[in-house]
Amino acid sequence: MASKSDIRKALNLVKKVGADDVHLKFVDLPGRWHQVALPASNFAGELFTKGVNFDGSSIPGFTRLESGDLGLVPDPLTHFTEVTESTRSVSFICDCIESDTRRAFARDPRRVAERAERYLVKSGIADKALFMPELEFNLFDEVVMMGMPDITGYTVMCLEGGIDPEYNSKTFPWIGPKRGYHALPPTDEHLDLRSRMVHRMEEAGIAVKYSHHEVGSAGQCEIEVRPDTLKRTADSIMIGKYIIKNAAAEEGLTATFIPKPLYSQPGNGMHFHQHLVKNRKHIFYTKGGYGNLSKTALYYVGGLLKHGRALLALACASTNSYKRLVPGFEAPTCFVFAIGNRSAAVRIPKDINSAERARVEFRPSDGSANCYLSTAAMLMAGLDGIKRKIDPEKEGFGPLDKDVFTLQDVEAGGLQPVPFSLAEALEALKADHRFLLEGGVFTEDLIETWIDLKHTTEVKEVMRRPHPYEIELYLDC
């Protein structure tokens, strides 16, 4: 529960910035934000305890129609200011409660992140889990979608990458295929826009490490933020994605975190660097260990890889995700670990020369995930590895200091591949989720709801629709 001091500071902030409105934002089960807007004159201290009621049955994955009433309680520590030409508003991220009992709503993803952090402390393994995400996204000039029975497909225009459906050309300079990494102006057309995005993120309290143009030619960018605690990292991802999309829209562009928007172009991941801290000591470091990692860190890696196929049902949460996890694009295709290997599912950075820098990077995850659920699931998998002392080398997960994509079938035969599809990942989650239930962090109800929601609204619906390439393949059959 929020302290009186934090509530008082939040109320004073709304007055200090001269806000016209207060926006209450909350996340649904798939991972998208929703919002309720209040006139600033109605924003009072009682909202931090009583909340604002809303219809949970209209929110994907929440409640049924006959028991839909839920409440929103703003977290006073999550505020950020938004300014448009006509209004000034302050946004707060909210927790969801049952409107009758005022208890925490069990399916609220933010509550799952809270429970994961509490479980970590209770385990005695560490006090904090720190996560550092890399936000990758595309900036497109125009996207047109067609979804009628007699016309289906999409058209993307990205002039920076020479993608113009009308002329299939662009005046120089443009970025060639896979040649966008760390590009600079005039080739990089989005430097100023990224700078505005970063500035707004920092104003919202998000510490940014750096930003740059990514490998992809089609306006692919990355903004990397500094490490923070699990729930705060997930909050920062939601705020960051919101700022990025709105800043792009102001320029007439579409920002998208979809994992694989274009065939033959690099996809968008959301890699997570992560490590544990106990009594202010970083416990992933042992000088002279593999990559200067401690046994604890390697067991954590073992847990990530052992539960990797199930993890991807939460961390790669779209049917599109698995079009990114293919050879040739620095996206992992097998569950292995190694130092500096970007084709590995878990990469050990080469720059680990102190306890503060000791970390592991989980590379399969992407921006289609609900970041509260995916980070909580990663932590639970890693903790299970530590508790059970899962040695990744003995389990056959490496280390593999080779490019996985160049291995012959006989060499790759002993490696565990990533799931081929979301359906396959969901089946893995169904079979392997006991580690998520420890300490009541996840519940059977939430797991079952997630699997059913994904199967019903995404997997089945995508499978039922003819694909444009199928017409090309089979029209003359």
**Active site includes 136?**
yes
Helices (H) and strands (E) in the chain, counts: 15, 18
Which pair of structure tokens corresponds to residue 442? 């996840």
Task: Determine the Cα–Cα distance for residues 282 and 284; give it in Å rounded to an integer.
Answer: 6
Q: Which residue among 28, 95, 222, 384 is the active-site one?
A: 222
**Active site includes 55?**
yes
The amino acid at 120: L
**Active site includes 309?**
no
Q: Which residue among 8, 32, 55, 411 is the active-site one?
A: 55
Task: Determine the Cα–Cα distance for residues 315 and 374; give it in Å rounded to an integer.
Answer: 5
Alpha helix positions (H), 258-370: 295-306, 308-315, 321-324
The answer to whether 18 and 39 are in contact (CB under 8 A) is no
Q: Which residue among 111, 213, 273, 363 is the active-site one?
A: 363
**Active site includes 64?**
no
Q: Between 109-123 and 230-250, two packed helices, what is the crossing angle to 10 degrees?
A: 150
Q: Which residue among 28, 95, 117, 134 is the active-site one?
A: 134
Q: Which residue among 107, 271, 275, 307 is the active-site one?
A: 271
Q: Which residue among 21, 136, 189, 458 is the active-site one?
A: 136
Largest Cα separation within the chain, whole Å, is: 71
C-alpha pair distances (Å), 333 with each of 32, 317, 345, 404, 405: 27, 16, 7, 8, 8
Alpha helix positions (H), 319-407: 321-324, 371-388
Residue whose pair of structure tokens reads 């202010």 in the numeric block: 280
Q: Which residue among 108, 160, 214, 228 is the active-site one?
A: 214
**Active site includes 361?**
yes
**Active site includes 359?**
no
Q: Which residue among 361, 366, 384, 458 is the active-site one?
A: 361
**Active site includes 271?**
yes
Q: Which residues are tagged catalytic?
A: 55, 134, 136, 214, 222, 271, 342, 361, 363
